[in-house]
Amino acid sequence: MYRVLISIIALIMLTAVPAAAESGGNKTEKEAVIIEVDGNPSEHKSYFNTYHPYIEVVHTYDTLFNGLALKAKPDRFEQIESLEFIKAVHPVAEYETQSEQVEPLNQNENSVIPAALNDTSYTGKGVQVAVIDTGIDYEHPDLAENYAGGYDLVDLDDDPMETTAEEGLPTQHGTHVAGIIAADGKLQGVAPDADIYAYRALGPGGRGTSVQVIAALEQAVDDGADVINLSLGNSVNGPDFPTSAAVNRAQDLGVPVVIANGNNGPENWTIGSPATAADALSVGATSNPQTVPYLFDSLSNKKIPLTEMDGSKPWDLGKSYDMAVFKGQNVQGKIALMKRGKTPFSELAKQAEEAGAVAAVIYNNEKGLFRGRISNNKKSINIPIASISKQAGEWLMQNTQNKNLYMETKEATTKQTIADFSSRGPVTVNWDLKPGVSAPGTNILSTVPGGYQELQGTSMAAPHVTGAMALLMEAHPNWSVKQLTGALKTTAKRIRNKQGEPFAPIIQGAGEIQPEKAINTKTIIDKSLLSFGKVTDNNKTKTQHVTIENQSDQKQTYTFSIPEKQKGMTWRLPQSFTLEKGETKKLQVELDVNSRQIEEGLHQGWLTLNGENQKFHLPYLFINKTADYPRAMGFQFSLKPFSDDMYTYQFYLSEKAESVAVTLYNPDTLMYERTLLRRDDVKVGLNEGQLEQSELGEPGQYLAVINVKLNDGRMAGYQTKIFIPRSQSPG
């Protein structure tokens, strides 16, 4: 049996658990919860069966974490609140319903079809792929044939269907991910003959808790899946967050893990858990070449790039049109120019169309570009809508004053690049180099409930890698997890920027995967991403080990290229060496760093290993003294389960600190309100605690500033918004 591969979604939030009705005339609905426990879960199951027979123990977890899945009426759960062996409870939450737009299979020149990545003769046949996500629409004609089963960790039953409008905020993410991996119909996935097993860990609105995710991981491992797709994560950049720890435990059990890197780029240090797991294969997103429109003014030779909004008509204007600032007036036969604000894009577009515009552009109200969406659910919008930068919008505003400005539509073809949204590494605390590899993540056309749709994100990149892993598993059923992931990294192609230089390792990892080359590689390098950690001494020698395996049927000779001389850095690399057929050799790579001769911060680059007829590029990094990584992150605040007046909080620290204080400010005036909490007993990693309702102060929306006093006396921190609710106690 193949083992499980994991590729992971976007954000772990509060869980949403639609309830299941009890039999008989009682209309009270059951709640489904997962609890974490101390001690032996099987013994606690017996305890519930004996002393709480009205609470149904649906499942016992003891592979990746200790816990029980329970179902009961809400009032039954009140009886177990005081049980000392219960560490944490993950209960029901409610969400509003919302309709979704579903699009037909309508490929355009910029659509990326998942099957395009498969340049091999393999199809993933016989490989069992587990998709941990929002569930899937297993009745979709492109997925029904390959769907083989699964489990719902939200409702705790055997029906992992996507959330429907009747159950809450509907979802589509898991269906899109599953289609990228193994759709087999009008649309083809990367591995169209793979078997799909769905594990619904995220409920209405795509929300769930880390425990649902961990439980789904355990369920998939116990079910003997070969490949798990987990396209989810959070914003905590630390290697030991609970989901990351669970991924590493799964890896120890022979489960290769592929995880979406996150969509918080383009800044460094934005990768989140569980992609931060040391043993996981995290995936960044590439942007394929695209034909994109732009506006051109021949008199000033001005080009203005357009970002077509999702759901919009294609921007294919055949002639030049006058540009007009739109303020509700008649703009018959013109391109309407509008500023982004509080009005929904769809409403702005409809206003422009009703005023006679042939098209509309909406310019940003802050620095940078943005990608909006036009919804055609209620009122059909039949003109193209695009977004532009604030700078471009202001130029158009200035040049349309008291004169006509005729803009021509032209097209340009972009080069392959790294998507701006793709989160960057490295990981804090252990300074691992992430992502591991990259894959297509923009304009990905795949299945959604009732149809097809283009989506983008590292959530779309990761299942490309999952599908590729299925191809490798079919081609090499006896390869180990290290060989499978090593082959993908060894043969990855580096993506280059406009200047022709490869993007930094923390942006692309080893590069974009190439399945055919991975399957046929004659060399496999294990641990090819070299992280030398943090240098704190003036002179320090750092060591990493790399394993080279000769997969060919004849001996091969390898040699490292001598790196370009850099002040403060001295490399000691293995000399030329030869591996016999099938031989594996462990090599030592040493780096001497004189921290006084180089700048503080993050340093990275590439080493080159020369084979017989091929060059292999090994990315490396180290931190000199310190860097601009986040010291605190992941502050969360919520009502404690089974309680009316007790609240729990948590935050994550990436560095030793003396104390942490959370202060509240008025979000409108930024005036100081009060200090919510202060902690002196803090540690590196996850910190948790509780607050009573009486300690919270006045309810309302606040700007929370998390201030960290580091051990060396420096201050660090960040800010986020929180909501202090009113007391839920009676009276």
* Residue located via tokens 């577009």: 349
User: For residue 665, what is the enclosing H or E element?
Assistant: strand 657-665
Cis bond upstream, residue 242 (ω within 30)? no
Compute φ and ψ for 719, nearest 5 degrees. Answer: -130, 155
Q: Are 89 and 642 in contact (CB under 8 A)?
A: yes
Compute φ and ψ for 358, nearest 5 degrees. Answer: -90, -20
Compute φ and ψ for 704, nearest 5 degrees. Answer: -100, 125
Q: Are 236 and 273 in contact (CB under 8 A)?
A: yes
666-to-633, 639, 650 alpha-carbon distances in Å: 21, 22, 22
Q: Are 424 and 267 in contact (CB under 8 A)?
A: yes
Q: Are 271 and 427 in contact (CB under 8 A)?
A: yes
| Cβ neighbours of 625 (radius 10 Å) | 15
* Of 588, 577, 499, the residue nearest 543 (C-alpha): 588
Among the listed residues 59, 133, 210, 279, the single catalytic one is: 133
Q: Is 140 a catalytic residue?
A: no
Give the strand pairing for 577-579 and 632-639. unpaired
User: Torsion over CA of 524, 527, 531 and 533, rounded to 10 degrees?
Assistant: -160
User: For residue 75, what is the enclosing H or E element?
Assistant: helix 74-77
Give the strand pairing for 417-418 and 556-560. unpaired
Specify whether the backbone of 591 is left (phi greater than 0), alpha (psi in -120 to 50) or beta. Answer: beta
Among the listed residues 44, 90, 140, 173, the single catalytic one is: 173
Cis bond upstream, residue 274 (ω within 30)? yes
* Of 65, 121, 72, the residue nearest 92 (C-alpha): 72
Give the strand pairing for 584-594 and 569-572. antiparallel
Q: How many whole angstroms separate alpha carbon 503 and alpha carbon 286?
A: 11
Q: Is 459 a catalytic residue?
A: yes
Q: How many whole angstroms separate alpha carbon 519 and alpha carbon 528?
A: 17
Cis bond upstream, residue 619 (ω within 30)? no
Q: Are 625 and 672 in contact (CB under 8 A)?
A: no
In total, the chain counts a number of residues equal to 731
Q: Is 173 a catalytic residue?
A: yes
Assigned token pair, 527: 């641990």
719-to-23, 136, 630 alpha-carbon distances in Å: 48, 36, 12
Q: How many whole angstroms separate alpha carbon 504 and alpha carbon 511?
A: 10
Q: Let me know if 430 is exposed, middle or buried by CB neighbors in 10 A (0-12, 13-18, 19+).
A: middle
Question: What is the SS3 assignment for 211?
Answer: helix
Among the listed residues 7, 459, 531, 654, the single catalytic one is: 459
Give the strand pairing for 584-594 and 539-550. antiparallel
Sign of the torsion formed by the C-alpha atoms of 173, 179, 180 and 181 = positive
Assigned token pair, 716: 């660090």
Assigned token pair, 295: 């506006």
- The secondary structure of 108-170 as a DSSP string is -TT-B-GGGG--SS---TT-EEEEEES---TTSTTTTTTEEEEEETTTTBS--PPPPTTTSS-
Compute φ and ψ for 164, nearest 5 degrees. Answer: -95, 170
Q: How many whole angstroms separate alpha carbon 215 and alpha carbon 150?
A: 13
Q: Are 330 and 356 in contact (CB under 8 A)?
A: yes
Sign of the torsion formed by the C-alpha atoms of 378, 381, 384 and 385 = negative
Catalytic residues: 133, 173, 459
